[in-house]
Amino acid sequence: MNKIDKLLNQAKQSYSKGNIAKTKEILDSIVSQEPENIAANYILGLVASTENRSTEAIKHFDLVDTLGFKDPHFFYNYGLVLQRLAQYQKATEQYQKALSLKPNYIDALNNSSAALHIMGKNQEAEDAAKKIITLDPTRLEPYVNLGNILKDSGRFDEAISYYKKGLEIDPGNEAAGSNLLLGLCYSNRPSEEIFFEHTQWEKRVATAKNIQPFKHKSQDSNKKHLRIGYVSADFKTHSVAYYIEPILRNHDYEQFSIFCYSDVVKPDPVTLHLQQFPLIWRSIVGKNNDEVFSMVQNDAIDILVDLAGHSGNNRMGLFLRKPAPMQVTYLGYPNTTGLSTIDFRLTDQWADPEIDSPYYTEKLFHLSDGFLCYVAPQNSPDVSELPAIKNGFVTFGSFNNLPKISPETIDVWSRILKAIPTAKLMIKTKPFNDESVRNIYVNHFNNRGIDSNRLLFSEYSRSLNEHLACYGSVDIALDTFPYNGTTTTCEAFWMGVPVITLTGKAHAGRVGHSLLTRIGLSGMIASDIDRYVSLATFLAGDVKPLAKLRSALRATLAQSSICNGAQFTKSLEIAYGDMWKQLNT
């Protein structure tokens, strides 16, 4: 055995014992002598990946790949790092290499399914997930992946069924439980059922992990300087950033100490922009909930604010532990968290008219100026001329996530298209990258008597400006139900496109009501389906007032409370003080 082989054996032993520093020292010595040593570069890539140094890991894996190393586990690990960097196409290519060598490699199938889903290739993702279930029906991940894929394809009942099958395997799995709850928000299930399922999340997780909420000492109700922490994985290019940015920009940093607990794996320009404010930034990437619990307590946070609810990459497990004396849920989720440890939910009188709702575990607190504040994108395209003037027909549109386009929504949109035989409907959503998904929706409309030549399907845009420019093809936006749009509604306003909404019973179906009321367009709010249809036909009947509205709508939004960050943040800070007094009096 030569010197290099001896060093490699030492490195492997050190790595197996978890001594990363020693492993790296040995491997660096090897590559200084043999820069193209495959084994040393492979392990260095694994070490860098373990420590979340993904770019460095890619450098080593690239070299190993170039040198012709063929091993399914190498290709899997290579794909894993690429997926972490959101390079999904390249990641799936590596998983396919792994599967070509090991066809039933379940980990590669599972990650490939998740990556394909993110890319909008739902049919391929579904096939991969179902293959895993065939190979190992006791594995949790494919049931959750399949639930997400089916939800995003509008197949809600099937999705909920798979989520529940996954929870039978691991009842205390936090992510699986949260995925079920988010899926239920898109469905038309009874409020009682949805609320019950939300309360079960805490019971399952607390029981499985033996979690007891921390008991805090009594607090000073008149405390003047409050320490507030925001927890989110969405401090990046994400809808949540549109609404948290004006708050972080306008907080009174003399009156409040502001902390951001960021779970952003891959920071982007939006992340860097948010970090410029005079707040304290804490990365919680890779830290478990017990570790973050200690961070929050060490920071002596008074009010911990959840910005995710049960949406992706949430930290409900942290809030279950109650690290702060007062906990609030806000912004990122259209329903109750179901947690007894979260004290308040911030909302408004239009989105949640009843202060004492039986379908929330939290106490509702109404913000007087509306429950959110929007910051419009800078350097966005100009508002275009009304397309109906050039086209000679009206184009309705929806740019909402596909799961929001419920069967009931398709029924009503089909009624509108039948009532206006010349009109067309443009639907823009990421899953339409997949031709099989587009065909499903063509069939949905065909089955309701709408010919495919009246449908305009648009795929995911490469940039925000490209996305916003697509509103230039839409005359009137149609809101979805029972789950309304939020960011898409604000974007439509900004691009001069009015939105017709149908008011629902729950928060998810009342966001459009809140936004339209605040912008002074309550006449676009329908109380029932017949009114929704008649509003659409009335607006489409005369393009002159529609063109006038289009030219004024951006300025109307900019001058409304929706875009008044200073006023909104002041009312939010008053709310924090009032809630603190309520809780501690």
Looking up residue 338, the CATH number of its domain turns out to be 3.40.50.11380
Task: Please indicate, yes or no, whether residues 369 and 400 belong to a single structural domain of this protein.
Answer: no
Q: Which H or E element spans position 148?
A: helix 141-151
Query: Measured between alpha carbons, how far is residue 62 from residues 55, 79, 101, 247, 457 in Å?
Result: 11, 11, 19, 42, 38
Structural domain harbouring 39: 3-209
Token pair belonging to 538: 């009335």
Assigned domain for 531 exists: yes
- Where the chain has pLDDT below 50, the residues are none
Residue 196 lies in a domain: yes
Q: Quick one: 53 and 188 in the same domain?
A: yes
Burial of 3 (0-12, 13-18, 19+ CB in 10 A): exposed
Which residue do the tokens 């060093």 mark? 7
* pLDDT tens, position by position, 363-379: 999 999 899 999 998 88
Q: Is residue 395 located within the same domain as residue 530? A: yes
Taking a C-beta distance cutoff of 8 angstroms, is the pair 434, 120 a contact? yes
**Secondary structure (3-state) at 450:** coil
pLDDT of residue 37: 86
- Residue 382 belongs to some domain of the structure: no
Predicted pLDDT at 1: 55
Note whether residue 554 is domain-resident.
yes
Question: How many other CB atoms sit within 10 Å of the CB of residue 358?
Answer: 8
250, 280 contact by CB (below 8 A)? no
Residue 365 lies in a domain: yes
Residue with token string 């789950």: 483
253 and 179 share a domain?
Answer: no
Domain boundary among 177, 209, 241: 209
Looking at the structure, tell me whether residues 285 and 429 fall in a common domain. Answer: no
Q: Is residue 214 part of a domain?
A: no
Tokens 């309705």, residue located: 396
Spatial separation of the C-alpha atoms in residues 72 and 97, rounded to whole Å: 7
Q: Which two tokens stand for residue 11?
A: 């490195």
In a domain, 221, yes or no: no
Q: Of 160, 180, 209, which residue sits at a domain end? A: 209
Give the Å distances, CA to CA, from 23 to 2, 11, 503: 18, 5, 60
Other beta carbons less than 10 A from residue 544's beta carbon: 9
473 and 354 assigned to the same domain: no
**Long-range pairs of 445-448 with CB within 8 A, sequence gap ≥ 24:** 445/410, 445/414, 448/410, 448/411, 448/414
Instruction: Give the amino acid at 207.
Output: T
d(CA 108, CA 351): 43
171 and 30 in a common domain: yes
What is the spatial distance between Cα 421 and Cα 414, in angstroms, rounded to a whole number? 11
Tell whether 320 is covered by a domain.
Answer: yes
pLDDT of residue 327: 98
Which CATH number do you get for residue 23?
A: 1.25.40.10
Instruction: Based on the fold, state whether residues 398 and 519 are members of the same structural domain.
Output: yes
**Is the bond leading into 358 cis (omega within 30 degrees of zero)?**
no
**pLDDT value, residue 14:** 76
Amino acid of residue 479? D
Contact, 295 vs 317, CB < 8 A? no
Are residue 505 and residue 520 in the same domain, yes or no?
yes
Answer for the pair 506, 334: CB distance below 8 angstroms, yes or no: yes
Total domain count, the chain: 3
